[in-house]
Amino acid sequence: MPLQPVLDSTMYYRDLGTGSPMVFLHGNPTSSHLWRHILPAIGSGRRLAPDLIGMGQSGKPVIDYTFADHARYLDAWFDALDLHDVILVGHDWGGALAFDRAARHPERVRGIAFTETIVKPMSWQEFPDGGRELFQAIKTPDVGEAMILDDSAFLLGLPGTVATPMAEEELAVYTRPYPTRESRLPLLRWARSMPLGGEPADVVARVEAYDRWLATSEVPKLLITFRPGPGTMMTPEVVDWCARNMAALEIERHDGVAGHHTPEDQPAAIAEAVERWAAGL
């Protein structure tokens, strides 16, 4: 798999097929490994999936790993590969980065598909009960460091966010890039970036900016949903919000159960939905 020089570092990515590009963006604490079953199941086009900077097999430069940092390195990766007229497919923070990039570079985006992602800032009361206490702890000074940097809680908790058992070897692929406390910094920064209760202000501002774009842009959008499983973030209320507030949106609802990491639970359904939708663009 290629390793692309980007700014002062490198970004690893998967690259299958030829033709019109689709870019698949993962979230926290995963990597392009999340898309391992989906990329080969889509039968046409060029399918690419990078590891975000500091994550997976990408380089780990000494930066703050803010949302803006991730967007900056991702922009440089798109430019290095000269990718235009792209379909973006995002999960978790990968969906947020897809929305953010599309809002800033709409002329380079053909469509956006997303599942279990950050679609809007939330109050603490809106956030699902199961995750509220967890994220309150993560955002607490020293407590979050102990959980994620010292105890690898976010990584080791991955099996609790899927409806089907995660094999030990699959969990090992996700945990291997983070052998030290310092290497786990991107995971903590992402977790603390969740826009809850008006904080962090810089992330809230970026999400509000892409929400304005999502409300008016005629770029086609596809939301793929499943029956809620462990750790599901996009509740029926959030899905209804998307239906009311996103222009040119198609919602594909599946009866199968999926936890927060939908590509782990339902890769075939996601691949089929993306391929069908993309063919109609």
Question: Which residues are known catalytic residues?
Answer: 92, 116, 260
Token pair recorded at residue 23:
């870019």
SS3 54: coil
Q: d(Cα 213, Cα 45) in Å, to the nearest integer? A: 27
Are 131 and 231 in contact by the 8 Å Cβ rule? The answer is yes
Q: Spell out the alpha helix ranges (H) of the chain.
A: 38-41, 67-81, 93-104, 129-138, 143-144, 153-156, 168-175, 185-192, 201-216, 236-245, 262-265, 267-279
Q: Which residues contact 255 (CB under 8 A, 6 or more apart)?
A: 226, 227
Query: CB burial class (10 A; 0-12, 13-18, 19+) of residue 21?
Result: buried
